Amino acid sequence: MEEFLKTKLREKCQELGLPLVGFAPVKRWETPPEELPHHFEEWIPEEFWPQSIYPEAQTVIVIGLPVQLPILETAPSIYYHELYHTINRLLDEKAYLLSNFLTSAGYPSIYLPRDGYGDIEVLLKKPLAFFSHKHAAYLAGLGSFGWNNVLLTPEYGPRIRFTSIFTTAPLEGDPILGDDLCTRCLLCARSCPVDALSTKKEDQFPPPMGKIKCATRSKKLRKKYLSPCGICIKVCPVGKDRKIFNRTNTTIYTQKKGFEKYHRSWEHVKKYGSKK
Ligand code: B12
Ligand code: SF4
Ligand code: SF4
């Protein structure tokens, strides 16, 4: 029955155009599987676990939609700003529909918003949400953490946005490959315009993150219709999407010579639709 429901759910996700889906039993928050790629000194506090938020929850289903790399390359821009909102809307809608699908199949389920904060001002005071989707995706075996503090997947590197569904259906967890995908190249940290990421290789992994520095930059960009920043996910060399979009050479971002047509295109896009 459990296997049948999982197959049905995978079919439904395909129908909804979701390329990435993962399953994590709530027990994984309590006892993270040994084969996970990282061992954290500090784990997520209990009140952030799915079973604390929805006590009936048995499984968390994580869905992901990719950030199209050639659009992200124009960031900060109105183009990436629009893409970000499109993905957010679709994630929320699809998660809501999936949870209703499960509820009508006899397993009461609820969706979660892909972010869960009212405004960047709130994050400047407390840069946290009540539930973390990157940890959920990690526990569902979808990837490993990067130096840039977000989840890297084999398919899209960090260029993927997630949301989750809490379901009362007891579903088997997906296997965890345990691969650490981050190469520690530190391109993410060296490209951050506000030094929010550590450039000290000897730091603990993942390194401490300057959340307020990053959120402050986001606030400034938002006023100009240019948020979010996204540079640390643009430059990351991990992800099959780089090959698909013919972008395996990341010097395209630091060197103009030989890549003039790309730089011309990004400069053109940046000139329109937002404030200076
Ligand atoms: C708040 C937030 C921000 C803030 C703070 C950044 C941060 N790193 O948390 C700001 C505005 C700066 C931000 C920026 C960005 N974000 Co953001 N953000 C979130 C949001 C809404 C909540 C994250 C959260 O609070 N998690 C909960 C806590 C438990 O996790 P944590 O902070 O990592 O806690 C760990 C440690 O800090 C430690 N810990 C130590 N002490 C304590 C104390 C307490 C009380 C707690 C709780 C934990 C804790 O324990 C935890 C386990 O390791 C999520 C959406 C969501 N709801 O998940 C998106 C999310 C993480 N963001 C995302 C992205 C992509 C970005 C940006 C690239 C912007 C962009 N879209 O282009 C940048 C990248 C910044 C970076 N390099 O990290 C994606 C990541 C996708 C992925 N592939 O992993 C998410 C998941 C959104 C989504 N729906 O996909 N973000
Ligand atoms: S989103 Fe921008 S400001 Fe924030 S950490 Fe990444 S590169 Fe730095
Ligand atoms: S840019 Fe390099 S160091 Fe940063 S997350 Fe990607 S692989 Fe890791």
- Count of Cβ atoms closer than 10 Å to residue 75 Cβ: 25
Percent of the chain surpassing pLDDT 90: 93
CA 165 to ligand 2 centroid distance, Å: 27
By mean pLDDT, which of 94-103, 196-205, 245-254 is the weakest?
196-205
Average pLDDT over residues 227-252: 98
CA 31 to ligand 1 centroid distance, Å: 21
Atom in ligand 3 nearest the alpha carbon of residue 152: 5
Mutate to test the pocket of ligand 2, among 67, 199, 217, 221 (most ligand atoms within 8 A of CB): 217
Q: What is the pLDDT of residue 12?
A: 97
Q: Is the pLDDT of residue 41 over 90?
A: no
Atom in ligand 3 nearest the alpha carbon of residue 147: 5
Q: Cα-flanking dihedrals φ and ψ of residue 247, to 5°?
A: -130, 40
Q: Is the pLDDT of residue 276 over 90?
A: no
The token pair at 151 is 């989840």
Mutate to test the pocket of ligand 1, among 48, 67, 90, 128 (most ligand atoms within 8 A of CB): 128
Atom in ligand 1 nearest the alpha carbon of residue 153: 83
Q: What is the pLDDT of residue 79?
A: 98
Query: Which single residue is written with the structure tokens 């899209």?
Result: 156
Q: What is the pLDDT of residue 148?
A: 97
Mutate to test the pocket of ligand 2, among 81, 120, 222, 229 (most ligand atoms within 8 A of CB): 229
131: CB partners within 8 A, 6+ apart: 48, 50, 53, 112, 116, 164
Band of pLDDT at residue 269, cut at 50, 70 and 90: very high
By mean pLDDT, which of 33-37, 118-122, 206-210, 249-253 is the weakest?
206-210
Q: How many domains does the chain have?
A: 1
Q: What is the pLDDT of residue 204?
A: 85
Q: Is the dihedral of CA 133, 134, 137, 139 positive or negative?
A: negative
What is the C-alpha separation between 38 and 141, in angstroms, rounded? 12
Count of residues in the chain = 276
Query: How open is the CA angle 234-240-241, to the nearest 5 degrees?
Result: 50
Burial class (CB in 10 A: 0-12, 13-18, 19+), 264: exposed
Q: Residue 148: CB within 6 Å of ligand 3?
A: yes
By mean pLDDT, which of 23-32, 34-43, 216-225, 226-235 is the weakest?
34-43
Span 175-189, pLDDT tens digits: 999 999 999 999 999
Comparing CA positions, the residue from 9, 83, 29 lying closest to residue 273 is: 83
Q: Which structural domain, as residue segments, surrounds residue 160? A: 1-276
Strand partners, 21: 63
Span 53-99, pLDDT tens digits: 999 999 999 999 999 999 999 999 999 999 999 999 999 999 999 99
Band of pLDDT at residue 101, cut at 50, 70 and 90: very high
